[in-house]
Each structure stands twice: as structure tokens, then as C-alpha cells.
Structure 1
Amino acid sequence: MSDKITTHWKGGLTFESDNPSGKSVIMDTNIEGQNERFGLSPKAMMLSSLAGCSALDVISTLDKMKVDIDDFKIDVSGELTDEHPRYYHSVIVDYHFYGSDLNKEKCERAVNLSVDKYCGVMEMFRRFATVETAIHFHVN
């Protein structure tokens, strides 16, 4: 299976990239002396991809387990190298579950399945970065 995308220059340092889903995203970067941004940072989108990949796994696994939660979010932070080419050398992924009667064991199982087995983006990150994960439960 392969994916193909096309990224098209929109002027300045702004680009539009399509996706096999038919959707597109605007990318740009911080430009000194310019306050306005039009899109997302490509490196930060990598962190979003990691969170999105794992979140899809976790929620679909919880659905199969018939586990109810009120809310769920993932915070991802990444530390870039100092030297060019700058890349994320360490990443922290924090899973946050919210609810009044959380099944902690099943939530942890869903996260572990994503981290250890299903999330391809997580595996890609492990090829170049140290990845730490933590699970947080917030009882309403």
C-alpha cells in the first residue's frame, strides 16, 4: 500500500498539501518580522499525526471493549535537536481520560495496544526519537 500527496507552493513560504482523503492542509513557518500565519508547521504536524494515529487506535479499541468515557485528549510535546537538520530527538505523549466511572484497566490496555502494536506513526517516531508515554485519569 502506498500513499501519494502533492504539495503546491502558494507564494512566500506558504504551501498547500493534499491528502488521499481528498482534504488539504496549509503549511507555513514562522517568518521573522511577520506576525501572520496561514497554516501549520510541518514539524508540529508530525506531533499531531502521532496524536491522531494513537487517538484513532485508542477510541476504536475502547468502542470494541464497550468502554464509555466522557472525554479524551492527547498532549504531545517534542524536543528538537540543536543542530541542523533539526528533528525531534525526544517526545512525550500524555493520554488524558475524563469520566465519572472510568475503567482504568481497559483504558490502559487500549493505550498499550496502540503504543506497542497498532500505531504506525508511533513506530516511525521510535526510529529517530525516544518516546515516553503517560496515562492520566480525570474523574468528574
Structure 2
Amino acid sequence: MEAKVRWLEGMRFVGTSGSGHDLVMDGDNPGSAPSPMEMILLAIGGCSSVDVVSILQKARQDVTDCEVEIKGLRADDHPRVFTDIELVFVITGRGVQEKHVERAVNLSMEKYCSVSKMLEKAANVRHSYRIVDLP
């Protein structure tokens, strides 16, 4: 896997993934794009959500939406690494069974999500879920 980051102007940079996708990052606070540290939270949310949706679909659950709320707490001193990350998965659907959601979230966070497994070596990563049942 490869990537490249190029300076645009100010504290704005464009990253290009090995698969050719571009994204802008901004080191200013507030900036005009996500900061690199915000991108880490987005990465753990994206990685784990892919797993959760895939597992729930394979379990034939009628999922209409998956959202993950992510909070990251950083150290006060430099380097300001994440010390705690909390993810709350909000699964919406019709008749979605809790046992399947619990299994999907646990499998993602404990086995499949490589971003989570990497970050838990440096931060306390916690997760939970809520189910929103549609009529």
C-alpha cells in the first residue's frame, strides 16, 4: 500500500491514495478540511462500519442505516496522541436483532478492523451500539 501527500498552500495538503483517490487535509484550526487527527477518527469509523454493515447483511438483517459516533480524547502535551477513543454504532432498520448487532460490532472491533487493532496499541478504544427500530 502506498500514498503521497503534497502541500497546497498555508497548512492545506492533498493526499493521494495508492488507488488514485484525493483528499484534502488542513492543519489550521479551524481549517477548511479535516485535520490529520480527524482523519484518524474517520478512518476507524469507516473501517469498522464497513465490517459491521457487511456482517449484518450476511446475517440477512434489514439494515437501512449505519452511523458511528466517534469521540477522541487527546493527550494535553506533545505529541498530542489519542489516549481514548469511543465509538457508538447506531444501527437503524426493521426488526434488526440485537444479537446480530452485538456480534457484528464485536467482530469488527476485536478481529477485523485493522485501524482499530492498530490504534488500541496506543489508546483505550471502547465501543457500544444502539438500535433504532423502524416500523
TM-score of the superposed pair, with normalisation by structure 2: 0.93
1:112 deviates by 0.9
Partner of 2:58: 64
Q: Secondary structure at the match of 2:101?
A: helix
- Offset from partner CA, 1:81-106 (integer Å, 9 cap, x none): 00001010001010101123111111
For residues 1-140 of structure 1, the aligned pairs below 5 Å read: 3-31=1-29, 37-140=31-134
Q: Secondary structure at the match of 2:78?
A: coil
Distance 1:78 1:57 in 2: 21
1:69 deviates by 1.2
- Offset from partner CA, 1:17-40 (integer Å, 9 cap, x none): 101221111011235xxx6x3321
Distance 1:139 1:56 in 2: 20
Q: Secondary structure at the match of 2:3?
A: coil
Distance 1:122 1:100 in 2: 28
Aligned length: 134
Q: Secondary structure at the match of 1:6?
A: strand
TM-score of the superposed pair, with normalisation by structure 1: 0.90
Distance 1:68 1:99 in 2: 5
AA matched with 1:79: L
1:108 deviates by 1.1
Q: Secondary structure at the match of 1:69?
A: strand
Point out the more displaced range, 62-71 or 110-119: 62-71
Which 5+ residue runs of structure 1 have no aligned equivalent? none
Distance 1:78 1:39 in 2: 18
Q: Secondary structure at the match of 2:72?
A: strand
- % same residue: 31
Distance 1:63 1:137 in 2: 15
Q: Secondary structure at the match of 1:59?
A: helix
Distance 2:84 2:37 in 1: 13
**Large movers: runs of 4+ above 6 Å:** none
